[in-house]
Structure 1
């Protein structure tokens, strides 16, 4: 079993669960509880849409983490092309989330740290530190 793949999967799951649970508790619930004069937040349809958009990154991170865990537990399950796809999709999604989180938070935050580590672990696990097409 590749420990870097396992680490990437666990970090991806931690990011997804933390974003979904903590976001629901500390961002969405207070936002929806006190909408103030914002008519968008008073509409049930808008609240459902905002909630879905909030949880979409968590869902994507969990799917990538699941595929990474599958590869970690059964290396023969994926061919080289599938691993390359997982590499670019996983690193692309994780690092995009990390960069935008760092930008939004204006600095280090547990979310961008976990996603960066998940991305780097996935990269080094699949490539061994080299470029994937060498």
Structure 2
């Protein structure tokens, strides 16, 4: 058991939640009150949605890294466990991008393809 990796994982959990909470509260909400954001697809709604899901996807990635570090700290962890965490992380990325952009930001297609590809590698 490697406690340094567990400490790293816990720190990533903390920073992921702090990043999302404080970013939403102090950066995104204030930024979205501005009237000079780029207007894509006819309004600034797409810009706001993209900024929001991109901000939170960073936190999701950190949660995925935390899970990987915790698995690496656990004796006997198999490669498949790591791949499942990676696939799950990118499924969540894809869903956040899909729902956050209402399907307009096509990154969701790539994120879901990454997830499926990772899962296929197990078979």
What TM-score, normalized to structure 1? 0.51
CA drift at 1:39: 4.5
Q: Give the Cα–Cα distance (whole angstroms) in 1 for the partners of residues 18 and 77 of structure 2.
A: 28
Q: Match of 1:46? A: 47
SS of corresponding position for 1:40? coil
Residues 71 and 77 in structure 1, CA contact (< 8 A), matched pair in contact too: yes
Q: Which runs of 4+ in 1 moved over 6 A?
A: none
CA-based RMSD: 2.4
Q: Give the Cα–Cα distance (whole angstroms) in 1 for the partners of residues 63 and 10 of structure 2.
A: 10
Residues 5 and 71 in structure 1, CA contact (< 8 A), matched pair in contact too: yes
What TM-score, normalized to structure 2? 0.55
Residues 37 and 44 in structure 2, CA contact (< 8 A), matched pair in contact too: no
Q: Match of 1:28? A: 28
CA drift at 1:6: 0.7
Unaligned segments of structure 1, at least 5 residues: 83-134
Q: Give the Cα–Cα distance (whole angstroms) in 2 for the partners of residues 7 and 67 of structure 1.
A: 13
Q: Give the Cα–Cα distance (whole angstroms) in 1 for the partners of residues 27 and 14 of structure 2.
A: 18
Query: Aligned residues, how many?
Result: 79
SS of corresponding position for 1:16? helix
Unaligned segments of structure 2, at least 5 residues: 83-123
Q: Give the Cα–Cα distance (whole angstroms) in 2 for the partners of residues 19 and 30 of structure 1.
A: 15
Residues 13 and 62 in structure 1, CA contact (< 8 A), matched pair in contact too: yes
The one of the two structures with greater contact order (alpha-carbon pairs below 8 A, sep at least 6) is 1
Q: Match of 2:57? A: 56
Residues 39 and 47 in structure 2, CA contact (< 8 A), matched pair in contact too: yes
SS of corresponding position for 1:77? coil
